[in-house]
Amino acid sequence: MAAHRIIFANEKGGSGKSTSAVHTAIALAVKGHRVTALDLDTRQRTFGRYLDNRVDYMKRAGATLPMPAYGTFNPADGFTIHERLDNLAAEADFLIVDTPGRDDDYVRAAIETADTLVTPINDSFVDLDLIGQVDPDNYKIKRPSFYAELVWDARKARAKSDGGTVDWVVLRNRLQHLEARNMRRVAAALSELSKRVGFRVIPGLSERVIYRELFPKGLTLLDLAAIGEDAGLAHVAARGELRELIAGLELPEQAGAPKQTQAA
């Protein structure tokens, strides 16, 4: 069975895209699925460096943690983006792809192969503008933006190539813990836009210091028990957010779940 491809993409940086992608990859590996991953950001490599840190931590600590096989796409290696994606997909139940915060041909090619496209956005009108322009007086959606058109084109290309569909999920990251008028307005605008351009909206990860603290060791919220760290209330709440995120993606349960792959 071909891997279910989950592409994390957003042309605007700072949306928590790589953090969400890493936690999704590890959450699926924890469940026993074979997971492969590809970082398309050849220069910054936030996703790849996160997993590099994880490998280094396991070596230092003598620990074994759930781990996807992963790599970074480099056109100079001689493989096309489709060859790289197909090779990784052939070895896994799930393929996770993290993309750079820009538009290029490789990102578009990856999106066109997506089974699930995840677009993390911060809970603000600044990020919402990526997918829909809002009227400044009544906060209603005036028109879809360029990114929504890009996804529309990708969906058409996918349908034409193999008849498949792309489930587009907008992930609301950095949600505030307290209800606010602006938060309600963003939610209303997203709901309206979702009906017009066809995406689902699910809650993502809050703004928590814990996510930044885990990066240097390559750890996730799911590793704390394995490494013997006590979980505080913030950790427990954050794990609940992650469980809700994974459930919201509505991913298929892959049969078999063979033993996990190792970093490559």
Residue in the block written with tokens 């993290």:
98
- 139, part of any domain: yes
What percentage of the chain carries pLDDT values higher than 90? 67
Q: What is the pLDDT of residues 49-92, one digit of tens each?
A: 999 999 999 999 999 999 999 999 999 999 999 999 999 999 89
- 212, part of any domain: yes
CATH code of the domain containing 32: 3.40.50.300
- 256, part of any domain: no
Q: What is the pLDDT of residues 169-184, one digit of tens each?
A: 999 987 665 457 778 8
| Among 28-42, 134-148, 174-188, the range of highest mean pLDDT | 28-42
- 228, part of any domain: yes
pLDDT value, residue 234: 73
Mean pLDDT of 92-101: 96
- 224, part of any domain: yes
What does the DSSP 8-state code read for residue 221? G
At 256, the pLDDT band (50, 70, 90 cuts) reads very low
Number of folded domains that form the chain: 1
At 248, the pLDDT band (50, 70, 90 cuts) reads very high
Of the candidates 174, 205, 214, the one whose C-alpha atom is nearest the C-alpha of residue 24 is: 205
Whole-model pTM: value is 0.91
- 98, part of any domain: yes
The total of other beta-carbon atoms located within 10 Å of residue 40's CB is: 26
- 184, part of any domain: yes
At 224, the pLDDT band (50, 70, 90 cuts) reads confident
Q: Which domain holds residue 210?
A: 4-249
Q: What is the pLDDT of residues 190-202, one digit of tens each?
A: 999 999 999 999 9
Mean pLDDT of 122-148: 90
At 228, the pLDDT band (50, 70, 90 cuts) reads low
Distances (CA, A) of 146 to 96, 115, 143: 24, 21, 10
pLDDT value, residue 221: 85
Instruction: Report the first-to-last Cα separation within the chain, whole angstroms.
Output: 22
- 258, part of any domain: no
